[in-house]
Chain A
Amino acid sequence: MQGPTPSQTVGPFFGFALPFPGGPQAASGGLRVEGQVLDGAGEPVPDALLEVSHDSDFARCGTDPEGAFHFVVRKPAPPPGEAPHMEVTVFARGLLRQLATRMYFPDEDAANAADPVLGLAGARRETLIARAEQGGLRFDIRLQGDDETVFFEI
């Protein structure tokens, strides 16, 4: 059997095609998460697309000219042996393949301390944990650099 079809970049011109009405709103009455996608020079990435999922919850949101995005999610029940988290997939111009990461929740210190994936992330585990801020959570994604977000091998 042949291997998978290779990936190619989402390119810059997906904004008329992939976003959909209500896309950022994975759950009603959930937690609002705001963040920014930044490149290796610390500049905003204005043409990224994020998909955030867990169980039946799914959000899709693009970034704006400041690289900013927001989505609304419910904190999921913890999977067996893991802390609650959302799967986060990043597409962008300049990414020939998607990036896979996770967002964990800041009010789960004990569960996060025991989470095996956060354990594998080592010293950079904090990049996977959202910060509490007024009115919701903050979760920035840094594609490159000293505080580069942890991405998983896919």
Chain B
Amino acid sequence: MVEFEPPYLYPEYRSTVLRAPQRPPVRLPEEWFETTPGPAFGRIPVKPEDADLTRQHAGEPLGERIIVTGRVLDSDGAPVRHTLVEVWQANAAGRYVDPADQHPAPLDPNFTGAGRCLTDADGRYRFISVKPGAYPWRNHHNAWRPAHIHFSIFGPALAGRLVTQMYFPGDPLQDHDPIFQSVPDARGRARLVAAFDTGVTEPEWALGYTWDIVLRGRQATPREA
């Protein structure tokens, strides 16, 4: 099995320089990865309507309506059932609702940009949202983040806990983005890019994207409590 994890220290992404540990990580016995259970996420509230980011306010948000769906799988390819998937993103103009975001693009009163859902018995999740915009950041001169949706996924094992970002196909900013490029192999980077999917696209309504997620660890069911 090939792994394509980014390093902790990746100087092109400046924030890693003072935050990446310098000591070699301590290696624990291998079974620790497989046997330490993942966090019991059952206290995190999740309601069915949390999966539709376009219906959290009085009106509909501006932007290209999208459906993002896929399966959460373990490293054996088995579905990770009834686990928690959390997403957050910028609005269609590239602005986060987070007060720390100072990018002078408009907020959308009809869009917060945060959602949650549980995977079904096939490990499938599904969100409705709008396509996030690109936005500038201060990592280097004229730096722009490619459009992306942040994902947080709980797995059966602690080692399967994953926070990552999903990108959109055909975005030229990916070639210039040190966060995306921190994944050392093109095959690994390709795993972060969703596929446009006519089968998921709904006529006269929304563009569809498919993105499967593979967690570390195998053969177990996550624990809600």
Kindly identify which residue among B25, B45, B214 contacts A151, using a CB–CB cutoff of 8 Å: B25
Contact across chains for A22 and B19 when beta carbons are under 8 A apart? no
Contact across chains for B18 and A144 when beta carbons are under 8 A apart? yes
Interface size on B, residues (CB 8 A): 74
Nearest B residue to A48 via CB reads B19
In the bound assembly, the distance between CA atoms of A73 and B87 in angstroms comes to 27
- With A4-B3, A6-B183, A150-B26 known as contacts, the answer to whether A13 contacts B100 (CB < 8 A) is yes
B residues in contact with A10, CB < 8 Å: 150, 152, 163
User: Which of A104-112, A117-125, A129-137 contacts its partner?
Assistant: A117-125
Majority DSSP secondary structure for residues of B touching A: loop
In the bound assembly, the distance between CA atoms of A2 and B86 in angstroms comes to 23
Interface size on A, residues (CB 8 A): 61
Contact across chains for A153 and B3 when beta carbons are under 8 A apart? no
Distance to closest chain A CB from B38 (angstroms):
8
Judged by a CB distance under 8 angstroms, whether B43 is at the interface is: yes
In the bound assembly, the distance between CA atoms of A152 and B161 in angstroms comes to 14
Distance to closest chain A CB from B165 (angstroms):
4
Contact across chains for B214 and A5 when beta carbons are under 8 A apart? yes
Q: List 18 A-B contacts (CB under 8 A).
A: A1-B1, A2-B1, A5-B162, A10-B152, A13-B88, A13-B96, A13-B98, A16-B112, A18-B88, A20-B43, A39-B19, A43-B18, A58-B43, A60-B44, A97-B8, A100-B158, A120-B26, A143-B18
Given contacts A55-B40, A58-B43, 12 further A-B contacts (CB under 8 A): A3-B1, A4-B215, A6-B6, A6-B188, A8-B6, A15-B100, A45-B19, A51-B39, A94-B19, A96-B179, A144-B21, A153-B28
Give chain B's interface residues, CB within 8 Å of chain A: 1-8, 10, 13, 15-23, 25-28, 32-33, 36-45, 75-77, 86-88, 90, 96-101, 112-114, 150, 152, 158-159, 161-165, 179-180, 182-183, 188-189, 191-192, 213-216, 223, 225
| Top-5 shortest CB links A-B | A94-B15, A17-B88, A17-B114, A94-B19, A53-B39
Give chain A's interface residues, CB within 8 Å of chain B: 1-18, 20-23, 39-41, 43, 45, 47, 51, 53, 55-58, 60, 87, 89, 91-100, 117, 120-121, 124, 143-145, 148-154
